[in-house]
Amino acid sequence: MLSESSLFLKGVLLGSILCVLMTMLAHIKIDYGKRTHHHERHHLQAPTKEDILKISEDERTELSKSFRVYCIILVKPKDVRLWAAVKETWAKHCDKAEFFSSENVKVFESVNMETNDMWLMMRKAYKYAFDKYRDQYNWFFLAHPTTFAIIENLKYFLLKKNYSQPFYLGHTAKSGDLEYVSVGGGIVLSIESIKRLNSLLSIPEKCPEKGRMVREVSEDKQLAVCLKYAGVFAENAEDSKGKDVFNTKSVGIFIKEAMTNHPNQVVEGCCSDMAITFNGLTCNQMYVMMYGVYHLRAFGHVFNDVLVFLPINGSDND
């Protein structure tokens, strides 16, 4: 006969074992869904710390100086507040940033594209950038004013990539058979791919100004069609753990999703530590990001990065 107290003890014991088991199960790392479509996608990975350490110190210094990113931001008059925020925040970290507007906007300096059509704006901006800067920059980054970009992480990602190769990258999506880089996450073209694009822009059969479809086709898909003709394919950029580094959503949305999907690892499960872009930000969020990325720091906490990208001489970036 079991006494009541030993029954109680057994219950407690069983309860604790179950509790331990549940906790263990909850802590087993879940593969966050994002990995499932890898095999179907073209993708490029960021270098690992070991990759960087393999580069000699002289070469690292040389690399960090020779990296030149030109930023294209497409704006419309309705975007003036975001435009101001972008200009005041992350765009300062580009080696050069220019705003391309649909019409003349008095408040800020911009290159007037004289069209409201996003695809025409994009084409004209790429042509302008290539004609004017092909000898000065090796990477071209295009974004909307709702995007926040961390240019140092972009440079880190591109460190071992060859800009003389034809490829372009960002956050890829699929539309039928077409794999394209979604403009929301920002689009990066190597100098070779912008060169090839430029040679196609004047050939309407290969790269038409108006899509052949009856319905409107977004500018990022039209770009992918043209680049495909030139042998340039879309690559999804990922960190060494396979997480996306170009994002079409804001941090806030990712955190919300993480709280629902894996509440034990909200921060770790949310986003890559080496994220390059977020999208869909309001003006306020631009400044919040700027504070979080470039100003706030934990005293005495050191990241020990093996490479530094210094701002160009005369830059007022912070």
Ligand X SMILES: *[C@@H]1O[C@H](CO)[C@@H](O)[C@H](O)[C@H]1NC(C)=O
Q: Under the criterion CB under 6 A, does residue 313 sit at the interface with ligand X? A: yes
Q: Residue 3, interface with ligand X (CB under 6 A)? A: no
**Beta carbons of 209 and 178 less than 8 angstroms apart:** no
- Find the shortest distance in angstroms from Cβ 312 to ligand X: 8
Task: Give the residue among 113, 122, 160, 117 at the shortest CA–CA distance from 141.
Answer: 122
User: Which residue do the tokens 């101001």 mark?
Assistant: 84
Give the C-alpha separation, 96 to 279, whole Å. Answer: 21
- Cβ count near 250 (within 10 Å): 19
Residue 104 or 164: the one with the smaller Cβ distance to ligand X is: 164
Backbone angles phi, psi at 170, to 5 degrees: 160, -135
Counting other chains too, the contacts that 91-95 makes at CB distance below 8 Å and 24 or more residues apart are 92/315, 92/316, 92/317, 92/318, 93/149, 93/150, 93/151, 93/152, 93/311, 93/317, 94/69, 94/70, 94/141, 94/151, 95/67, 95/68, 95/69, 95/70, 95/137, 95/312
User: Binding residue for ligand X (CB under 6 A) from 23, 48, 116, 162?
Assistant: 162
Cβ proximity to ligand X, 48 vs 165, nearer residue: 165
Interaction of residue 199 with ligand X, rule CB under 6 A: no
C-alpha count within 13 angstroms, C-beta hemisphere, residue 61: 2
Backbone dihedral angles phi then psi of residue 10, each to the nearest 5 degrees? -60, -40
Segment interacting with ligand X, rule: CB under 6 A, options 70-78, 113-121, 159-167, 249-257: 159-167
Q: Whose Cβ is closer to ligand X: residue 68's or residue 123's?
A: 68
CA distances from 19 to 16, 218, 262 (A): 5, 51, 18
Q: What's the DSSP call for residue 263?
A: G
Judged by CB under 6 A, the stretch of 161-169, 193-201, 249-257, 268-276 that binds ligand X is 161-169
- Map residue 163 onto helix, strand or coil: coil
Which of 165, 199, 264, 284 binds ligand X (CB under 6 A)? It is 165
Question: Taking CB under 6 A as the rule, does residue 315 contact ligand X?
Answer: no
Query: Which one of 91-99, 148-156, 158-166, 235-243 is the stretch in contact with ligand X (CB under 6 A)?
Result: 158-166
Cβ distance to ligand X smaller for residue 6 or 165: 165
Cβ proximity to ligand X: between 60 and 256 the closer is 60
Q: Does 164 bind ligand X (CB under 6 A)?
A: yes
Smaller CB separation from ligand X, 16 or 165: 165
Shortest Å, Cβ 71 to ligand X: 21
Least Å from the CB of residue 192 to ligand X: 7
- x-or-dash string of contact with ligand X, 107-146, rule CB under 6 A: ----------------------------------------
- Tell me: does residue 317 bind ligand X (CB under 6 A): no
Residues that bind ligand X (CB under 6 A): 162, 164-165, 313
